[in-house]
Amino acid sequence: MSTDSLDAFRDSARDFLARDDQRARMRRLREATPAFDPPVWRAMAEAGWLSILVPETLGGLGLGLAEMAAIAETTGAELLPEPYAAGVQAVAALAAIAAEGEAGTPGGMSAQGLLAAAMAGEQVIGLAWQDQPGQLDPATDGQLAVRLGAPDGTDGAQPRQLLQGTCRFVAPGAGADGWLVFAGSSDGPCLVWMPADAPGMTRTATRRMDGSLLATLVF
């Protein structure tokens, strides 16, 4: 995409952010839980920000990292409290699952249905992949701290598979409807959808200096 086109993305993001005083919002939300406003999240979704990396065949905008980075750069400069980068990455990961025709999630919703809800801002999702401090890349399958065990009982019409392990520095740390968890399995690395109210999972949120929240998920 040309520089002029990226500048147009930045200008559009500035217009969106100018609807409110983002610095005042950040001060107001510094001690709040969650540390962002769900109505603003839905407005971001309506603007297409969350679906920017999703292929058009799945209902997204079908754009790339340059366009996403232009929006992320602008939201960072304006101190937008909503965890945009974390959200758009999680939606992109979910789109990869939906593109493969994955049958469903532990809650019974299809991957395509969950993707549509996430792109609309009706479901707030995050990506949980980091298990060690200072880790910059997902570990290889043999080193993954989170493992997907054998099916144990049922959850509705689907087998309930047990995760074991810990994910750290997970965003959003509060206010998410669930997380895609990067785990190892007998078939290799995989992404597993874990609703926020999943039994057997505990979440501990830690507030950062900017007021945002990161979670530690223990399975």
| Alpha carbon distance, N-terminus to C-terminus of the chain | 42
Chain length of the chain: 219
Do residues 39 and 82 touch, judged by C-beta distance below 8 A?
no
Instruction: Report pLDDT for 102.
Output: 58
Instruction: Report pLDDT for 156.
Output: 45
Give the number of other CB atoms < 10 A from CB of residue 128: 28
Instruction: Report pLDDT for 45.
Output: 97
Return the H-helix or E-strand segment holding 43: helix 38-46
**For residues 65-92, b (16+ Cβ closer than 10 Å) or e, as one string?**
eebbebbbebbeebebbbbbebbbbbbb
Give the three-class secondary structure for 47.
coil
Backbone angles phi, psi at 186, to 5 degrees: -65, -20
Q: What pLDDT tens digit does each residue of the chain (219 aa) get? A: 678 889 998 999 999 999 999 999 999 999 999 999 999 999 999 999 999 999 999 999 999 999 999 999 999 999 999 999 999 999 999 999 898 875 445 445 688 999 999 999 999 999 998 877 666 565 554 456 677 775 555 444 444 457 889 999 999 999 999 999 988 888 888 888 999 999 889 999 999 999 999 999 999
For residue 118, the 8-state DSSP code is H
Give the number of other CB atoms < 10 A from CB of residue 4: 7
Spatial CA neighbour of 54 closest among 92, 90, 85, 86: 92
Residue 12 gets the label, from left (phi > 0), alpha (psi -120 to 50) or beta, of alpha
pTM here? 0.85
Instruction: Report pLDDT for 158.
Output: 44
For the chain, list the domains and their CATH numbers.
Answer: 3-94 (1.10.540.10), 124-218 (2.40.110.10)
User: Residue 213 and residue 174: Cα distance in Å, rounded?
Assistant: 7
Give the three-class secondary structure for 169.
strand
Instruction: Catalogue the E-assigned strands of 56-189.
Output: 125-128, 147-155, 158-164, 166-170, 178-183
Burial of residue 154 (CB within 10 Å: 0-12, 13-18, 19+) is exposed
For residue 102, the 8-state DSSP code is -
Instruction: Report pLDDT for 55.
Output: 96
Give the three-class secondary structure for 152.
strand
Instruction: Report pLDDT for 66.
Output: 95
Do residues 190 and 8 touch, judged by C-beta distance below 8 A?
no
